[in-house]
Amino acid sequence: MKELNGIGVALVTPFQENGKVDFTALERLIRHVSEGVHFLVVAGTTGETMTLSEEEQYAILDFILEINAGKLPIVFGMGGSDTRALAGRMEKFDKAGVKAFLTASPAYNKPTQEGVFRHYKYLSEAAPLPIIVYNVPGRTAVNVLPETVFRMADETDRIIGIKEAAGSIEQVMKLAAGLPQDFLLLSGDDPLLVPHMACGGHGIISVVANAYPKRFREIYESCIKADYANARAMNYQMTPLIHQLFAEGNPGGIKETLQHLGICKNHMRLPLYPVSKAHSQVLYRHIAELGER
């Protein structure tokens, strides 16, 4: 799946003040990110999917498929902690134009590594599309270990990659050393794009690319050319803003940034809540220092 190498963007879901999905702002966002990214990720954590009904998720996906018109590959997030229920939902999925599912390891249940493996194997046997594993132990409470990912790569054909967000470069190195070259190794940590690529990764599914798609693409392309001096310089310019974007939670920081940039409002659905006024000013200062996006 080389078309999913590069910069993917974990799209936010713009809302109106009354809580309804803001499709006008969503179109503006899609046209903005399409200038820089290689693929789109719909209905991920950054999209506040836990607060969206299944009907809303599919309405958003249909809208994006129409606006995108086949220009960029699309990955659709589909997760849950009940393996059979999630497999049933995947089995019924029939949206043309989606390349793969992105699905996080079950949250709250805290399965063993064997349970994690069997969860993904069960999904792979039901899913009509390839699956990208999302390892995000900060949210799921279970780290999908490299050895478990190696088993998936060896024993299933439908699992084609991993979004690795454990925050460990050592873990990225183990994955890169042990996985087949054609198994997608995507970063899920915006600050770690450059070291991730240096270890042998294939790209990132980024939150920050909602606001700065061109800059992230330039960093990625410098890494591909092994121009790490340029990649580091650009990354260091972005680092102060990146750290502040997550200081009061995701997607609060990126939505506040998008509001400053005039792309969408910072409205969110409870229990998520916009960043404080003080933090908004911190973000605005970093945005101004970065200049043109």
Would you call 134 a catalytic residue per the annotation? yes
Q: Report the distance separating Cα 241 and Cα 142, nearest Å.
A: 28
Q: Using an 8 Å Cβ cutoff, are 125 and 141 in contact?
A: no
Q: If we measure between CA atoms, which residue out of 13, 36, 17, 35 comes closest to residue 25?
A: 13
Q: In one letter, which amino acid is 285?
A: R
For the CA atoms of 18, 23, 29, 34, what is the dihedral angle to 10 degrees? Answer: 160
Chain centroid to CA 159: 17
Instruction: From 11, 68, 8, select the one nearest 264 (Cα to Cα).
Output: 11
| Residue 99 among the catalytic residues | no
CA 224 to the chain's CA centroid: 20
The one catalytic residue in 120, 163, 220, 255 is 163
| Active-site choice (134, 212, 220, 255) | 134
What amino acid positions are annotated as catalytic residues? 134, 163
